[in-house]
Structure 1
Amino acid sequence: MPRQNQEGPLLLWDEPRNAFGDTQAQWDAKRCKLVCERDQLKEDLLKAQDVLADAAQREEALRVEHERLQEEYSQEKAAWENKNKKLEEEAQQLHEEEKRIMGSRGYSPCQASDVPLRHSGQAPLENATMGL
């Protein structure tokens, strides 16, 4: 005689069950659900692997760009340092020339060496001719 199952339709007394008490239909439904979940997980895994591969490519591209920019910065920095060094040498030469000229105008070497270096934006030595 059939009986009412708590989880589903009427079942026959002699309907076979597995070790967990499931009928074949219940087991098939659970199996189908698990197979669908597995397939979804495989799909998600493939998507995640694609995202990781894209991220790795972007990371490599950024690393290469970073190295290129560092090299470019180093070269520009070296060029500016060389230019600055040349300008400092030129300023020192101009200062020495200025001291020589002032010495030739009657200033003592002591007074001539006290003349400060001129920097851009400053007026020429205003007080240099006051002693003449």
Structure 2
Amino acid sequence: MGEQGKTTCVRLLYNNEVIVSHFDVRAWYIISQTYNWRELLRDIFSQVTGFKIKVDEVGKLADMLQKSLLGKRYFIALDDMWDGMEWDELRLSLPDDENRSRIVVSTRLEKAGEYVKHHTNPYFLPFLTLKESWELLQKKV
């Protein structure tokens, strides 16, 4: 379901000072329905290394990303994932060094959340009650 605050929750987590200080590198990527695999890899690589690259070959980009993450504790947020295809492709580039790296995925589709679960079950954001909605509206006004 859209507009529940999934992106806001993940953004608050991503920018939390405990997260920032605990992880060696962080990356944030919004996966739209029509994402570009090459751009996804380039963008995450750029955020992880601080370098922009012009490599076009997807296999080489995936390999470079994996090598850049080896030995690092990383936190990667994948926002608005629409299906598991992106996950199947990307997880091969995310090494599991058993150093407590984390990947957070937000999605509006329960099926996609179930597909990407690995160590924990998906968390479903509850809707606001009428009272909570009214209080939020009053605060905003």
TM-score range (shorter-chain normalised) is under 0.3
Higher strand share: 2
Larger Rg: 1
Normalising by structure 1, report the TM-score: 0.18
